[in-house]
Amino acid sequence: MPIYEYQCKACGHEHEALQKLSAEPLKDCPVCEKTELVKKISAAGFRLKGTGWYETDFKSGAKKNVVNDSAASKPTI
């Protein structure tokens, strides 16, 4: 389940909540109890790192290199 960040427009309190993707956004501030919470846009909690499964996994032999050398040396327009 992702962690969502909220901020209250009334009092400025910032709040994090662990919620399901299908859950409705929170509306009530836990500090001032007004219905002024808005969901903030924040960075994801994970990074895609490395060569990637699509290029290197489940391949064998000569198929490991997806881009052939002749195509890599040609300039792109």
The domain limits of the chain are 1-42
pLDDT band at 3 (very low <50, low <70, confident <90, very high): confident
pLDDT in tens, 20-55: 989 999 999 999 999 999 999 877 666 666 665 555
Q: What percent of the chain has pLDDT over 70?
A: 56
User: Does the predicted model carry a pTM greater than 0.75?
Assistant: no
- Check if CATH label 2.60.450.10 holds for domain 1-42: no
SS3 sequence of 23-52: CCCCCCCCCCCCCCEEECCCCCCCCCCCCC
Please tell me the least confidently modeled range out of 13-22, 34-43, 63-72: 63-72
